[in-house]
Structure 1
Amino acid sequence: MVNFFIIFYLSITLAIGFWASKKIKSAGDFALAGKSLSTLLVAVTLFATWFGSTQIMGNPGYFITDGFSSYITLVVSGGFCLIIVGQFYARKLYRMNIVTINDFFRVRYNKTLETVSSLLMVLSYPHWIAAQYVALAYLFNTVMDIPFQYGIILGASIVVFYTYIGGMWAVAYTDMVQSVMILLGLFILLFQVLDETGGIAAIFEKQPSKFYHLTPDGGLDEWSDYIALLLAFTAGAIPVQEIYQRVFSAKDEKTARHGLFLGAFLMVLIPSIPLIIGLGGVQLYPELLENGNSQDIIPTLVKTMTTIPVQILFYGAMISAILSTSSGAMLAPATVIAENLIKPNVKTLSDKKLLLFTRLSVVLVAIVSCYFAFDNSDIVGLVEASLSLILVCLFAPFTLGLFWSKASVKGAWAAIIFGGLTWFCCFIFETRIDATIYGTIVSCFSMVIGSIIYPDKKQNTDVL
C-alpha cells in the first residue's frame, strides 16, 4: 500500500510539472517564471530549495552527537544568510535587471570573469544535487526496497522530467504543494514522538550539559570544523544562483526582500523539527544508532513506530522535500550554462533555441550529479563541498564588487586564483585547519590588495 501511494504521489508531482509547462512561452518564463512570483512563493521556493536531504536525514545525526553547536552551524546559519541577502544584496541586484549573478560579473568586471565565474558556479552544484539523489536513493531503498544505485537513477529521472518541461514555474508550483506535505508529515511524526517520550522537556532534560553549548568543547580541530561550516553555510551561500533565481523571479524588489525574510524564518523554524524527532527517536529506540549510519534515523523511525497512513504521508513529505531541493538546485546551474556560457558565444541565438539549450543543460547537470552521487554517499559532506568552492573563489569578488567602488578586475582575478589555489593545496595536504578557512582569508585579502595595487583605469560604479 505504501508503495502504491508513493508512486501515486510521484505521478501527481509529474502532472503538476506538465501543467506548469503550459506557462512556458520563452526562456525568461523558464528561468524566472515571468518575474511574477509573490512574497509567499518567493519564500516557499527558497525554503523548499534549501530544506531537503541535509535537514531531514543529515542534520539529526549531527545534532544528536554535537548538540546545539551543530544547530548553529547547520540550521541558524541558513536563516542568517537569507537575512543578510535580503537586507544588503537583494535591492541592488534586483535593480540591475539581470538573470544570473554571473551577469553581475560581466556588468561589474568583464565578459571573461563572467565566463570563469559561471564555470565555477556550475562546477559547485553537482555535489549538492548529488546529495539529494543519495537521499532519494536511501528513501526508495527503505520504503520500496529499490537497490541504492537504481534509486539514484530513478530519483534523477523524476526531477529531470518535471524541471525540463516546466522550469521555474514547475519548481514554484511543486514547491508549494511539496511544502504543505512536508509540514503535515513533520508535525504528525513530531506529535507522535513527543507523545511517546512524554513531551519536549523530557527529551532535552536527559541531555548532558555540554549538549547545550553553542560552540565546540574540543580544541583546534573542532573549532576548525565549526568555523568552516559557518563560513560555508553563511558566506558561502550568499553568491549562489538559486537564491537570486527566486529574487529575480519576484514581481518587484519589495516582494523579493520580504520573501527572503519570510524564507529565513521558515529555514530556522521548520528544520528544527527533524532534530527534535531524531533526538526523541534515539531515546525511544537506541538501536537506531547502532548501524553507524545516522542518515537512516528518521526513515527507519517512521517505518518502526508509525501506522501505514502516517508512513504514506511522511514518506511523501520526505520525498517532497528532496524533490523540491533537487529541482531548484538543477535549474540554477542549467540557467547559468545557457545564459552565461552558451548565449554570449552563439551569435543570432533565438529565444526558442535558448530555451532548448536551458532544458538540455538540466539533463547535463543531472548526469554529472549522478556520477558524484555514486561516488560519495555522505549527504552533509556533499553539500559542504558544493559551497566551499563558491566561498573561496566568488564570495570576495561578488561582495566587494557590489559594495566597494575600488574593486578591480585584477583584484577579482587575484581573489579567484589565489583563494582557489590555497583551498586546493590545503585540501590536498590535509591541513589541520580546514582548507575553507585558509581559502576564504586568502581570497578576501587578495581581492583587497590586488584592487589597490592594480586599480581599473576607469572605475565601474554603475552598480553601486
Structure 2
Amino acid sequence: MLLLLVLLYLLFNVGVGFWASRRVKNTTDFLLAGRQLPFYMSTAVVFATWFGSETMLGASSEFAQHGLLGVIEDPFGAALCLVLVGLFFAKRLYRMNLLTMGDYYRVRYNRLTEQIAGFFMIISYFGWIAAQMVALGIVMNQVFGISTATGIVLGSTLVVGYTFMGGMWSVSVTDFVQTVMIIGGLIFISWELMQEVPLQQVTAALPEGFFRFVPQERDSISWLNYFALWITIGLGSIPQQDVFQRVMSARSERVAVASSIAAGFLYLTVAFMPLVLALYAKELHPNLLQEDTQLLVPGLVMGSSSLAVQVLFFGALLSAIISTASGAILAPAAVLSENMLRPLLPNINDKGLLLLSRLSVLLVAAVSLGMALMRSNIHELVSESSALSLVSLFVPLVAGMFWRKTTSAAAIFSMLAGMGVWLLALYLDTAVNPMLYGLAGSIGGLFLGQLLPKNRVPKQDKVREQVAR
C-alpha cells in the first residue's frame, strides 16, 4: 500500500508539471514563468529553493551527530541568504529585467565577464543537482526496495521530464503544491511522534552543549570557521541562478522583495521539523547511527510509524527533493543557453532559444547524473557547490551593484583570483576554511584589477552607471 500510494503521488507530481507546461509560449515563460507569480506562489517557489535533500537528510544527519553547530550552514545560513536577497538585491535586479544572473555580469561589465561568470555558475551547480539525485535514489531504495543507483536514474528521469517540457512554469506550480504537502506532512508527523514520546524526554538524553549556538573554543581559527559556516550558503548563494530566477518570477518588484523575505523566515521555521525528527530517530532507534546517518529520519518513519505517517513523510520528502531538483537543473541550463551558447548563434530566434534551453536541461542533467552515481554524501556535495560561487561570483556582484566605479577588469580579476586562491587552499588543506582564503583572494583581486588603466566606451559607462543606481 505504501508503494502504491507513493507511486501515485509521484505520477500526480509529474502530471501537474506537464499540465503547467502548456503555459510555456516563449523563453521568458520557460525561464521566469512569464514574471507572473503572485505573492503566495512566489513565496512557495522561493521557499522550495533549498528545502530538499540537504534539509531533510543531510542537515538532519549533521544535527543528530554534531548538535546545533552542525546546522549553522543550513538552515540558518540558507534562511539568511533569502532575507538578504529580499532586503538588498531583489528590487535592483528586478528593475533590470534580465533573464539570467549571467546577464547581470554582461550588462554591468562586458561579454567576457559574462562568459567567465557563466562558466563558474554552471559548474557550481553540478554538485548541488547531484545531491538531489542521490537523495531521490535513497528514498526510492527505502520505499521501493530497488538499488540506490537505479533509484537515482529513475527519479532523475521523472524530474528532468517535466522540467524539460515546462521549465519555470512547471517548477512553480509543482513547488506550490509540494510546499503545502511538505508543511502539512511534517506538522502531522512531528505531532504524532510527540504524542507517543514527549520532546522533553528526547532532549533530556542529549549530551551537554548539544544546543550550543557558538563555538566553545576562544581561538581565532574556530571563530573564523564558524563565520565560514554562516556565509557558505548565506552569501555564496546570493549570486546563484536558482535564487535569481525564483525571485525574478514574481509579478512585481514588491512581490519579489516580500516573497524572498517571507520565504527566508518560513524556511527557518519549517526546516527545524526534520531536525526534531532526527533527534527522535537518535533516541528511539540508536542502531541507525551505525549505518548511513543520512537514513536516520527515513529509518525512523519506516520503523515506528503508521502507514498514514509513512505516506505523508515520504510524500513530503519526495516533494522537497523534486522541488529543489527541478529548479536546480533549470538554473544552470538557463545560464548555459542564454549566456554561453546564445552568443555563438547571433541569428537565433526566440523559438530556437527555447529549444536550446530545453536541450541544455538534458545536458546539465546528464553531467549531474554521472556525478551522483560516483558520490553519495549529500552534505559535502552541497557545501562544495555553494563555496564555489562565493569565492568567484559574490564579490563582483556586490561591487558592481554598490560601487559605481567598479570596472570589468576588476570583476574578472576578482573571479579568477578568488577561484585560484580557494583551489590552492583546498590543496594545502588549511586549518582555516579554504573558502575564507578564496573570499579574501576575490576581494584582493577586485582592488588589484581596479588599479589597471581604464579604457571603456562612454556609452557603456552610462549604462553601467544606470545599473549601479
Q: What is the TM-score of this pair, normalised by structure 1?
A: 0.96
1:121-174 alpha-carbon deviations (Å, 9 max, x no partner)? 111111000000101111111111111111111111000001011111100111
Deviation at 1:111, TM superposition (A): 0.5
**Residues 186 and 274 in structure 2, CA contact (< 8 A), matched pair in contact too:** yes
2:368 equivalent in structure 1: 369
1:76-129 alpha-carbon deviations (Å, 9 max, x no partner)? 111111111111111111111111111110011101111111111111111000
**2:465 aligned with 1:461, yes or no?**
yes
Structure 1 stretch displaced more, 164-173 or 308-317 = 308-317
Deviation at 1:12, TM superposition (A): 0.8
Q: Which whole-Å CA distance do the structure 1 matches of 2:432 and 2:450 have between them?
A: 27
Letter in 2 for 1:383: V
Q: Which whole-Å CA distance do the structure 2 matches of 1:247 and 1:39 have between them?
A: 10
1:340-399 alpha-carbon deviations (Å, 9 max, x no partner)? 112222021111111111111111111000111112111011011111111111111111
Q: Which whole-Å CA distance do the structure 2 matches of 1:169 and 1:93 have between them?
A: 20
Q: Which whole-Å CA distance do the structure 1 matches of 2:466 and 2:448 have between them?
A: 22
Letter in 1 for 2:253: E
2:231 equivalent in structure 1: 231
Q: Which whole-Å CA distance do the structure 2 matches of 1:109 and 1:443 have between them?
A: 16
Aligned pair in 2 of structure 1 residues 422, 156: CA closer, same or farther (>3 Å)? same
User: Identity percentage over the alignment?
Assistant: 38
Deviation at 1:329, TM superposition (A): 0.5
Alignment of 1:262-411 (within 5 A): 262-291=262-291, 293-411=292-410
**Residues 122 and 337 in structure 1, CA contact (< 8 A), matched pair in contact too:** yes
Q: Which runs of 5+ in 2 are unaligned?
A: none
2:19 equivalent in structure 1: 19
Aligned pair in 2 of structure 1 residues 405, 374: CA closer, same or farther (>3 Å)? same
Q: Which whole-Å CA distance do the structure 2 matches of 1:231 and 1:87 have between them?
A: 16
Alignment of 1:106-185 (within 5 A): 106-185=106-185
Letter in 2 for 1:300: G
Q: Which whole-Å CA distance do the structure 2 matches of 1:150 and 1:284 have between them?
A: 30
**Residues 410 and 454 in structure 1, CA contact (< 8 A), matched pair in contact too:** no
**Residues 120 and 390 in structure 1, CA contact (< 8 A), matched pair in contact too:** yes
Structure 1 stretch displaced more, 218-227 or 163-172 = 218-227
Deviation at 1:49, TM superposition (A): 2.3
Structure 1 stretch displaced more, 348-357 or 338-347 = 338-347
Letter in 2 for 1:425: L
1:241 equivalent in structure 2: 241
1:269 counterpart SS class: helix
1:386-434 alpha-carbon deviations (Å, 9 max, x no partner)? 1111111111111111110121111111111111111111112222222
Q: Which whole-Å CA distance do the structure 1 matches of 2:75 and 2:256 have between them?
A: 22
Deviation at 1:222, TM superposition (A): 5.1
2:429 equivalent in structure 1: 430
Q: Which whole-Å CA distance do the structure 2 matches of 1:37 and 1:344 have between them?
A: 29
Deviation at 1:201, TM superposition (A): 3.0
Q: Which whole-Å CA distance do the structure 2 matches of 1:153 and 1:201 have between them?
A: 41
Aligned pair in 2 of structure 1 residues 148, 223: CA closer, same or farther (>3 Å)? farther
2:48 counterpart SS class: helix
Letter in 1 for 2:109: Y
**Residues 238 and 394 in structure 2, CA contact (< 8 A), matched pair in contact too:** yes
Q: Which whole-Å CA distance do the structure 2 matches of 1:24 and 1:132 have between them?
A: 25
Q: Which whole-Å CA distance do the structure 1 matches of 2:331 and 2:294 have between them?
A: 26
1:442 counterpart SS class: helix
1:93 equivalent in structure 2: 93
**Residues 76 and 230 in structure 2, CA contact (< 8 A), matched pair in contact too:** no
2:226 counterpart SS class: helix
Q: Which whole-Å CA distance do the structure 2 matches of 1:329 and 1:60 have between them?
A: 21
**2:7 aligned with 1:7, yes or no?**
yes
Q: Which whole-Å CA distance do the structure 2 matches of 1:380 and 1:455 have between them?
A: 43
Q: Which whole-Å CA distance do the structure 2 matches of 1:173 and 1:409 have between them?
A: 38
1:441 equivalent in structure 2: 440
**Residues 409 and 456 in structure 1, CA contact (< 8 A), matched pair in contact too:** no
1:183-235 alpha-carbon deviations (Å, 9 max, x no partner)? 1221122112212221x333334333311221223567755543332221111
Moved beyond 6 Å, runs of 4+: none
Q: Which whole-Å CA distance do the structure 1 matches of 2:263 and 2:148 have between them?
A: 32
Residues matched between the structures, number: 462
**2:32 aligned with 1:28, yes or no?**
no
Letter in 2 for 1:336: V
Deviation at 1:305, TM superposition (A): 0.8
Alignment of 1:182-221 (within 5 A): 182-198=182-198, 200-218=199-217
